[in-house]
Amino acid sequence: MSVPVQARAGRFNAVHVLVFAGALIALGALPFAVYPVFLMKAMCFAIFACAFNLLLGFSGLLSFGHAAFFGSASYLSAYALSAWGLSAELSILFATVSSAALGAVFGAIAIRRQGIYFAMITLALSQMIYFAALQADFTGGEDGIQGVTRNPVFGLIDITDNLSSYYFVAVIFVFAMFAVYRVVHSPFGQVLRAIRESESRAKSLGYHTDQYKLVVFVISAALSGLAGGTKALVVQVASLTDVTWQMSGEVVLMTLLGGMGTVFGPAVGAVLIVTLQNFLNSFGSLVTILIGAIFVVCVMLFRRGILGELQARFGRK
């Protein structure tokens, strides 16, 4: 698997700057063409998928328990917003930091093993979070936390209407994408790729691979938490859906569809899946079948995922 990035630490690539600028303009204009709540949800899942891809695509670690970070953050942010009345940005920050802490614990346990064992440990740990969410009082069991309020940002800026909350979420989205971009295009990101290609070689070069793996696990968990916390604000509900193992599976699907190991491919995959879920749901039972069929087609025809295939075909080597 070739990863088409040339990391020049500390400096920006001109093409990347152009792409970023174009994306920013598109982000600003989109809510006037497409329903903002849908866009916000898509952005949350895009952050989640890109965060997940830091592990799978750039470090070669398949976590099957990322719903734990996404879902617990969604609960914590919903609780902070409705029960404590914290402002929007503090609630999301609280959820993000909690997810990072949870990630540190999960990571410290899971990175001791590789491959399928790593995946199973993360799955087991995330199932513990699922059962905690099902049983705990503050999560409301299977009813979830309902009627989450969109509290003002910094206690000042009102975000109750869809357009203003869209721009708030867009800022978070840009920040998260930039964070992912910086992590990937840094010496740290280079070491991660070295670990992915051959952990023993990275070790023999003198890198403490466990420390690197733990740090990237925590970053990934924190960003997943950012996504989950923001999503609770957007849809104003935190429910069991976000902590189920199916959600962990969905993010794998998004990443593979979009392009594992490309910086923004998973975001494309996430947008695709959310779009399918949203626009096909008036056709009844077709949603799951179609998503399954699309997945099979993608895996058979373009293994590198949508963006990965585009990159491989048109240029940037």
Q: Which stretches of the chain bind other proteins, using CB under 8 A? A: 35, 37-38, 41, 134-135, 140-144, 146-147, 162, 231, 235-237, 239-242, 277-278, 281-285, 287-288
For other proteins, which is the closer residue by CB, 41 or 213?
41
For other proteins, which is the closer residue by CB, 195 or 240?
240
Closest distance to other proteins from the beta carbon of 40 (Å) = 9
For other proteins, which is the closer residue by CB, 199 or 242?
242
Closest distance to other proteins from the beta carbon of 95 (Å) = 15
**Closest Cα partner for 248 from 21, 7, 51?**
51
Write down the residue that tokens 């398949």 correspond to. Answer: 62
**Closest Cα partner for 103 from 230, 196, 215?**
215
* Sign of the alpha-carbon torsion through 242, 245, 247, 252: positive
d(CA 218, CA 102): 8
For other proteins, which is the closer residue by CB, 180 or 234?
234
Closest distance to other proteins from the beta carbon of 234 (Å) = 8
For other proteins, which is the closer residue by CB, 173 or 212?
173
Closest distance to other proteins from the beta carbon of 41 (Å) = 6
Closest distance to other proteins from the beta carbon of 130 (Å) = 11
For other proteins, which is the closer residue by CB, 81 or 183?
81
Closest distance to other proteins from the beta carbon of 308 (Å) = 28
Helices (H), the chain: 14-29, 36-59, 67-79, 88-110, 115-135, 162-184, 187-197, 199-204, 209-235, 245-258, 265-279, 286-301, 305-313
Q: What is the DSSP letter of 64?
A: S
d(CA 15, CA 167): 25
